[in-house]
Structure 1
Amino acid sequence: MLKMLLIYSHLLATCIALGTMLQADHKLWRWRKELLNRAMREQLAETQQIVTLALLFLWGTGLLLVLMGYLDEGIGYLLNQKLWAKVSVVTLLSLNGALLHKAGFPLLQKAPFVLLPGSARVRLGLLGALSMSGWLFAAFLGVARPWNHVMPYQHVMGAFAALLLLASAVAFVVVSTAGVEVEDEQGDGSAESC
């Protein structure tokens, strides 16, 4: 019963973190032309707190589940390469979250996203791509039971790399067009004033 409750808690924390991230990404995109006001910054800080707490809870429940699996099945449980791929992805997510908090979000305090230099927009876009693809893939690995003790680590991480590459390409296109969007609007404004 304890293991089932841990799995359920782990799943709920994943859903909360993923749902919060999707909502935050949607809001940030809606706000791309605005300098973040106090209410927006508070919403962003609340999102950061929720996701950080969910991630800490996921680490805790995940480590407890690994311990229980080891106690139930012995060393064989730890030989599951999908498990280590999931640990790798969640570690990347944790590092990426720290980068977003320290280097990414402070950029949005300085100027609207669309007015940031291209390199800053690309950096934010790539951090966002890693975040979203990492959360989605970690959640997928949680339900990919048929991959247990079957898929080699490099194959699982190769699938993640392919997803990350796709997400990064989409992010690059989106952030590139965000800058063009502002240039077009500024061009339209200058044409009207003539």
Structure 2
Amino acid sequence: MEITTWLRQGILFAHALAFGVAIAAVLREDAALLRHRAIDAKRLARTGRTLAAALMVLWLSGLTLIALDVGGDFAAVADRPKLVAKLAVVSALTLNGLLLHRVAFPMLGRVHALRASHLLLCTALGAFSTISWLYAAFIGLSRVVAESMSLADFMSLYGLLLLAAGAVVPVLATSMRSASRPAARLRDHPHAG
């Protein structure tokens, strides 16, 4: 067996482990938010750091796997709809992660001053994150259907899932808002001092 085969297998294993860490963190945090309807800003920050580290490993291992698969001919990537879709989804997921870290997490850290519009934005970014992580997994495991799917098919399905998540966001945000502390609710009341 060639050394590149073992190298590819090792990189693939690291990629799978990093994804396992990431998806477990995302789903654990989502479950905690849904179960408690409360925001633990410190826990969320820890989860964010875990996801950032996992995402770095995923990008490094993923790009290395692509380089090995296309033999350095990066123009060949354009001929692989599954791969282009995965790169698009992971790029969107990465940008969303930056928004979560730079915008949502600081807002959530000020839970007493959290406006309804801020909670809606944070919930939308969280839903986008969850759908994107799950869809990246779907693409990665889509060997059975990948041959029958075009890039448009992959991206249309992603769009539909994001729309479905978007429909649920206001309900989740309202539910979390009503479970938050009274001081946070007063801030949005027009007569609050």
Q: How far apart in 2 are the matches of 1:183 and 1:9? A: 42
> What percentage of aligned pairs have identical amino acids?
33
Give the CA deviation at 1:22.
1.3
1:65-120 deviations in Å (ceiling 9; x for gaps)? 100011199865551011011101000111000000111011112125xx732211
Instruction: State whether residues 93 and 135 of structure 1, in contact with CA within 8 Å, keep that contact through their aligned partners in structure 2.
Output: yes
Q: Which residue of 2 aligns with 1:82?
A: 82
Structure 1 distance, partners of 2:181, 2:25, is 31
Over aligned residue pairs, what C-alpha RMSD do you find? 2.6
CA shift at 1:177, angstroms? Answer: 2.8
Amino acid across the alignment from 1:49: R
Task: From the superposition, tell whether residues 31 and 74 of structure 1 become closer, same or farther in structure 2 (CA, over 3 Å).
Answer: closer
TM-score in terms of structure 1 length: 0.81
Q: 3-state DSSP class of the match of 1:108?
A: helix
Aligned residues: 178
Distance (whole Å) between structure 2 residues aligned to residue 74 and residue 109 of structure 1: 42
- 2:190 alignment counterpart: none
TM-score after normalising by structure 2:
0.81
Seen in structure 2, the aligned counterparts of structure 1 residues 131 and 76 have a Cα distance that, compared at 3 Å, is same
Say whether the 8 Å CA contact 2:127–2:166 is kept in structure 1: yes
Partner SS for 1:18? helix
Distance in 1 (CA, whole Å) between partners of 2:77 and 2:101 is 34
* TM alignment of 1:55-70, pairs within 5 A: 55-70=55-70
Whether the 8 Å contact between 1:80 and 1:148 is mirrored in structure 2 is no
What corresponds to 2:26 in structure 1?
21
Distance of 1:47 and 1:30 partners within structure 2: 17
Native 8 Å contact 1:69 1:77 kept in 2: no
Q: Structure 2 counterpart of 1:3, which letter?
A: R
Question: 2-side partners of 1:82 and 1:33: how far apart?
Answer: 37
SS at match of 2:71: helix
Equivalent in the alignment of 1:2 = 7
Q: Distance in 1 between matches of 2:128 and 2:25?
A: 16
